Amino acid sequence: MKINGVHYRTVWMEKTVVKMINQAVLPHFFRIEEFKTHQETARAITDMIVRGAGAIGATAGYGMAQVVLEAPDTSAFLDAVAAGAQTLTRTRPTAQNLFYAIDRVSVAAKAARTVPEARASAVQAAEQIAEEDLSSCASIGCHGASLLKDGARVLTHCNAGWLAFVDWGSALAPVYTAVREGKRVFVYADETRPWNQGSRLTSFELGNEGVSHAIVTDNASGFLMQRGQVDIVIVGADRIAANGDVANKIGTYEKAVVAHELGIPFYVAAPTSTIDRNCPNGDAIPIEERAEDEVLYCRGLLDSGEFGRVRLAPPGARACNLAFDVTPARYITGIITQKGVFAPGEILQAVS
């Protein structure tokens, strides 16, 4: 990820402080925020200062390392570690990478013989999660780029690029890799209400990478596909069930149904850390419902130059704000992982 010619990761840790790009104010302001305690880091996840499957996972791993670093060097150490893990677990219920990271760092800490060893092991495990996320996404880019022909027109939903992971991304990694290989690629980026991750973040990324693209309203994608203007759909995932059903940002399901009806390839891109082998199918995936105000209001840059929000709905109106939906495996052409492209029903082979 390069912004103004400078390479950044989405999230990283310096000593005991977690640092990250504030995604809530992009693309209007570029800010690096610092979070000194695991409670602050947990709040950053809940408030979507950081969002995206891999970035949430890496942040949770760093937050769990903070828990271990903050825990007292007494008999209460393990209780403090367990309590901190619960704080982080409650931040977002759908993203599998979050639970994967919390569990992995917790296991590393608990396996240590001494508290100092536990602290070092926790930090090491968190850093490994971040490094593996980056490496996996780079490999996803290589596998996925082979699916894109020169001149490909790609439809994507939400943001599954640099900002959704430590770097590279999942759904956009094949695009970035293909473009760097010299292929011409055009991207239609769904705006993705209510947080507008497509119009704010995907467009921001594609612009920085010099990738040709257009932002489209969420309800325009089906017509674009019907008119023959989309060659392939690639989206990310927040959790993949054992049978290949996929939870992703709300609105993904309808794109998959239309693509299936029209015979357009529909791919999901995700590292294997997003696969929940203990989740039998999509019906077992918990779906997060967020605050009504995210739908009733819209946030952005006002004409005054200030960052703020405006109300869209009538006074007293209520909203249902489901953050994710589930796409059944039968609508998915393939799942692009760092280990290759798998049929949805064979996805457990990627983690065997």
The catalytic site residues sit at: 238
Strand pairing class (232-235; 266-269) = parallel
Question: DSSP character for 338?
Answer: T
Q: Which residues pair with 299 in a beta bridge?
A: 309
Structural contact between residues 130 and 18, judged by C-beta atoms closer than 8 angstroms: no
SS3 (DSSP) at 6: strand
Structural contact between residues 213 and 186, judged by C-beta atoms closer than 8 angstroms: yes
- CA distances (Å), origin 257, targets 75, 260, 329, 331: 54, 5, 11, 6
Structural contact between residues 260 and 331, judged by C-beta atoms closer than 8 angstroms: yes
| Cα 246 from chain centroid (whole Å) | 13
List the alpha helices (DSSP H) in the chain: 38-46, 53-70, 77-89, 96-110, 115-145, 173-180, 197, 203-209, 221-226, 252-262, 293-296
Q: Which of 230, 218, 238 is nearest to 259 (CA)?
A: 230
Please name the residue that has the structure tokens 């060659």.
231
Rg, Å, the chain Cα set: 20
- CA distances (Å), origin 51, targets 195, 213, 215, 345: 11, 22, 20, 28
SS3 (DSSP) at 77: helix
Where residue 21 falls (left for φ over 0; alpha for ψ -120 to 50; beta otherwise) is beta
d(CA 1, CA 162): 6
